[in-house]
Amino acid sequence: MSYRLGVDVGGTFTDLLLIDEAKGATYTAKVPSTPEDSSLGVLAGIDKVCQTAGVSPQSISHVMHGTTVATNAMLTGNGARVGLAVTRGYKQVLQIARSLVPGGLGGWVIYNKSDPMAALTDTIEVNERMSARGDTVEPLSETSLREDLRRLADQGIEALTISLINAYANGAHERRVRDIATEEIPHIPVSISSEVIPEMQEYERTITTVANSYVRPVVSNYLRNLHSELSNRMADVSLHVLRSDGGLASVDAAEAYPVNMLMSGPAGGVSGALWIAQQAGYDNLLTFDMGGTSTDVALAQNGAAQTRRETTVGDVTVRASSVDVRTVGAGGGSIAHVPELTGALRVGPQSAGANPGPAAYGTGGEEPTVTDANLVLGYFPQTTRLGGEMQMDRAKAEAAVQKIADAMGLPLKKAASGIIDIVNENMFGALRLVSVEQGHDPRDFSLIAFGGAGPMHANALGRLTNAWPVIIPPGPGVLCAYGDATTRLRDEASRTYIRRFDDTRSAGVMAILEELADTAAQTLDAEDVPRKDQTTKFEIDVRYNGQGLTLTVNVDLDEFRAHGLEGVAEKFDQVHEKLFTFNLEVAKELVNLRAIVQGKAPIVDAETIGAGDEDPAAARIGEQEIHADGADYMAIIYDRGKLLDGNMVAGPAIVTEMDSTTLILPEHAGEVDRLGNILISPVQMN
């Protein structure tokens, strides 16, 4: 008998999901996270979940893991000291970056630039030159290079990046420099740009490869430790890590290209949300993950999350595919304030975080936060008896929100509503970025809400987006573990290939696509995924000759065989018109070709709940007054654990469970489905 295990390490809890591969049955466990060494929490969780399921850890064959180790290394500056080798004349490629000063006119007055991720003192120049076509203009000179590399090692670099001009067109010089580095400084791990990201644009390719080097030792140590600990308990276990793009990678691939793991955590949430929504029959989704300091949103169409060709962590953006998660600095801890000069109400991006926390927590916070406003409005169950996770201090919350009320000359509840309206609007802005601004009408989607604060704001966001029903999945915490456990092995191979359509033969493109597919497939071959279980998708980035940014066209190989580039051109025109309202009579050009290979999806059934009728009265545990839409209402409080399939919860209502609270607004109702999802929609007024 064999089991798959999904593990998500969050800031507070580590969630685990164990799946019986034969029967599809699932078991969950939640243990405290252990930030000093997160593998401890993982191991404790494994014991617990195995106990629950009554199985031995020995029967677990696959462990799937979403990790924030890479992200945290970037955010906290705890990465490796990276040495950088560039083409002569380009030493300051990271110092100059794209010359952009953020902000509007005069933004430079308040802008201090942070130091580059690879220090200038650890950067060396290599005498060599490739042309844009990949021809050698100046052969590589090795004389001073060996000495320079040894000097970098003496200075104390812990990883080396090689990023030479035009290496996307020909990586021969980069590979040769790597060979020399391996001879001279064999203990230093090397990343080369033509392998990490063989695409045009020297700054982007360099920063991406440097980021790869930067997080590599940290990620590598962590994964090796975890893998060996797991192997001690489970013979022949295979460990996989969730990539930023929502696919799974082997430990080896994750170690070599950790820059692809930067969004591993959020990708798990999106994948899990997607999976559970699909079980409930929803394929087109806006995901809405609202936490304490920020909110992540993404869009999925036909069951697949939209990805984009870049990943942003802190103030660094790298070229690595990731689920297109947009983050906005709005969460439960976001602080409301009224600048004296304008008298406008602003919420966030400053956050009270966990320390000092919202005023209501009584842990020293005095600034009014979104959580305080929610409490003032009555959206939290007011006693722990009613399922609240901790006793919150209403008086402190009111005192904090009163500051806003005074500054704006509004009654208390009106001010609290204002804070909620503004923060909702900020999150709506992020949802627009992934929907309307990408040419998608949110009304064609359902909004699925999770994260600690998501279910409380979800109904209101549904009203702004009109993305009905709003789906509140059960146990929002374990969602990420679902994502980890249910995604597929994945790898991609890509290549910049800039050619005008009218200069290019479809057969040549076809040959490259097949070659890329084979490269990506080899990664899965190495994981013993037979070719018959592999599926391959192709993408071509296209633009009008002369445009800067590209649009990605999905290509089906059979279609391509039949229609060639003409078919691609037609699709491109369609997408361009949808996004930008017009097309041009201009030659099109290919920019990047890409193949994505995926393994088979595992068969997993979601847990179901008992059946009931429309009346949710059995789950009712109390009532309390709330303020919504400018009026006071008596809202009924329900225990989520007691709701049954078929129950219809009419708003205003509050539904509580261990780690979140769902708010159903007046004139809305939540229908409970067989999986325990609450599906909120407006009540038809006849």
Q: What is the nearest approach in angstroms of other proteins to the Cβ of residue 669?
A: 23
Binding residue for other proteins, selected from 55, 172, 200, 510, defined by CB under 8 A: 200
62-91 positions binding other proteins, by CB under 8 A: 89-91
Rule CB under 8 A: say whether 156 interacts with other proteins. no
> Binding segment for other proteins among 64-72, 107-115, 361-369, 653-661 (CB under 8 A)?
107-115
Q: Where are the beta strands (DSSP E) in 345-460?
A: 346-351, 446-450
Buried b (16+ CB within 10 A) or exposed e, 610-627: eebeeebeebeebebebb
To the nearest whole angstrom, how small is the minimum distance from the Cβ of residue 575 to other proteins? 12
Residue 627 phi, psi dihedral angles, 5° rounding: -115, 120
Q: What are phi and psi of 486, to 5 degrees?
A: -110, 0
3-state SS record for 197-263: CCCCCHHHHHHHHHHHHHHHHHHHHHHHHHHHHHHHHCCCCEEEEECCCCCEEEHHHHHHCHHHHCC
Report the candidate in 249, 300, 312 with the shortest Cα–Cα distance to residue 272. Answer: 300
Using the minimum distance from each CB to other proteins, give the nearer residue, 104 or 156.
104
Instruction: Please state whether beta strands 678-682 and 653-657 pair in parallel, antiparallel, or not at all (unpaired).
Output: unpaired
Residue type at 39 in one-letter notation = S
**95 scored as a contact of other proteins (CB under 8 A):** yes
Q: Which stretch binds other proteins (CB under 8 A): 140-148, 237-245, 286-294, 546-554?
A: 546-554
| Span 570-589, contacts to other proteins by CB under 8 A | 576, 579-582, 584, 586
Binding mask 242-261 for other proteins (x = CB under 8 A): --------------------
408: contact with other proteins by CB under 8 A: yes
Q: Does residue 99 touch other proteins according to CB under 8 A? A: yes
Q: Letter for the amino acid at 99?
A: S
Choose which of 129, 240, 627, 668 interacts with other proteins (CB under 8 A). Answer: 129
Residue number, 549 or 617, with CB nearest to other proteins: 549
Q: Measured from the CB atom, is 507 or 582 closer to other proteins? A: 582
Looking at beta carbons only, is 249 or 590 nearer to other proteins? Answer: 590
**What single-letter amino acid sits at 70?**
A
Q: Residue 437 interacts with other proteins (CB under 8 A)?
A: yes
Binding of other proteins at residue 108 (CB under 8 A)? yes
Encoding tokens for residue 683? 């009540």
Binding of residue 631 to other proteins (CB under 8 A): no
Identify which of residues 16 and 84 has a Cβ nearer to other proteins in the complex.
84
Rounded distance, CA 583 to CA 575, Å? Answer: 9
Please choose, out of 7-15, 312-320, 544-552, 612-620, the segment that lies near other proteins by the rule CB under 8 A.
Answer: 544-552
Q: Which is nearer to other proteins, 581 or 684 (CB)?
A: 581
Rounded to an integer, what distance in angstroms lies between the CA atom of residue 447 and that of residue 329? Answer: 19
Q: Residue 595: phi, psi to the nearest 5?
A: -120, 135
| Neighbouring residues of 68: CB distance < 8 A, sequence distance ≥ 6 | 9, 264, 265
Q: Does 235 bind other proteins (CB under 8 A)?
A: no
Residue with tokens 């969730």: 242
When asked if residue 202 is in the footprint of other proteins (CB under 8 A), the reply is yes
- Choice between 100 and 617, CB closer to other proteins: 100
Nearer to other proteins, 175 or 203 (CB): 203
Binding positions for other proteins, 336-395, rule CB under 8 A: 339, 341-346
Secondary structure of 446-475 as H, E, C letters: EEEEECCCHHHHHHHHHHHHCCCCEEECCC
In angstroms, what is the minimal distance from the CB of 188 to other proteins?
A: 21
Query: From the CB of 311, what's the least distance to other proteins, in Å?
Result: 19
Comparison of 161 and 523: residue with beta carbon closer to other proteins: 161
Q: Nearer Cβ to other proteins, position 116 or 268?
A: 116
- Map the footprint of other proteins across residues 488-507, applying CB under 8 A: 498
Stretch that binds other proteins, among 62-70, 202-210, 326-334, 554-562 (CB under 8 A): 202-210
Q: How far is the CB of 502 from other proteins (least distance, A)?
A: 13
Q: Which is nearer to other proteins, 418 or 616 (CB)?
A: 418
Given a contact cutoff of 8 angstroms between Cβ atoms, the answer to whether 416 and 377 are in contact is yes
Applying CB under 8 A, which of residues 47, 142, 425, 525 lies at the interface with other proteins?
425
Instruction: Confirm or reject binding of residue 203 to other proteins (CB under 8 A).
Output: yes
Nearer to other proteins, 573 or 671 (CB): 573
Report, in Å, the least distance between residue 179 CB and other proteins: 24
d(CA 31, CA 453): 20
Cα–Cα distance, 323 to 483 (Å, whole number):
13
Distance CA 623, CA 632 (A): 13
Length of the chain: 686
The four Cα atoms 483, 488, 493, 497 give a dihedral, to 10 degrees, of -70
> Quick check: 256 and 468 in contact, CB under 8 A?
no
Q: Residue 132 interacts with other proteins (CB under 8 A)? A: yes
Window 158 to 177, contacts with other proteins (CB under 8 A):
165-166, 168
> Is 662 among the residues that bind other proteins (CB under 8 A)?
no
CB nearer to other proteins: give 206 or 534.
206
**Residues 628/609, Cβ–Cβ less than 8 Å:** no
> What are the Cα distances from residue 182, in Å, to 66, 160, 217, 332, 509?
32, 11, 17, 50, 35
**How far apart are the C-alpha atoms of 264 and 71, rounded to whole Å?**
8
> What span, in angstroms and rounded, lies between the C-alpha atoms of 630 and 650?
19
Q: What distance in Å separates the CA atoms of residue 267 and residue 243, rounded to the nearest whole number?
A: 7
- Least distance from other proteins to the Cβ atom of residue 381, Å: 26
**Site size for other proteins, by CB under 8 A?**
68
Kindly tell me which residue out of 549, 617, 684, 685 binds other proteins, with binding defined by CB under 8 A: 549
Among 101, 611, 618, 683, binds other proteins (CB under 8 A): 101
Q: Residue 659, interface with other proteins (CB under 8 A)? A: no
Q: Which token pair is 183?
A: 């001879």
Cα atoms in the Cβ-side hemisphere of radius 13 Å centred on 350 = 11
Count other C-beta atoms under 10 Å from residue 389's C-beta. Answer: 15
Q: Are 568 and 630 in contact (CB under 8 A)?
A: no
Residues 135-154 that bind other proteins (CB under 8 A): 137
Nearer to other proteins, 129 or 178 (CB): 129
Q: At what angle do helices 394-408 and 412-434 cross, to 10 degrees?
A: 90
Instruction: Supply the minimum distance, in Å, between the C-beta of residue 167 and other proteins.
Output: 9
- Residue ranges in 526-614 assigned as alpha helix (H): 557-580
Site track for other proteins across 277-316, x = CB under 8 A: ----------------------------------------
Would you tell me which residues interact with other proteins (CB under 8 A)? 89-93, 95-96, 98-101, 103-113, 119-121, 129, 131-132, 137, 165-166, 168, 200-204, 339, 341-346, 408, 410, 417-418, 421-422, 425-426, 429, 432, 437, 498, 544, 546-549, 576, 579-582, 584, 586
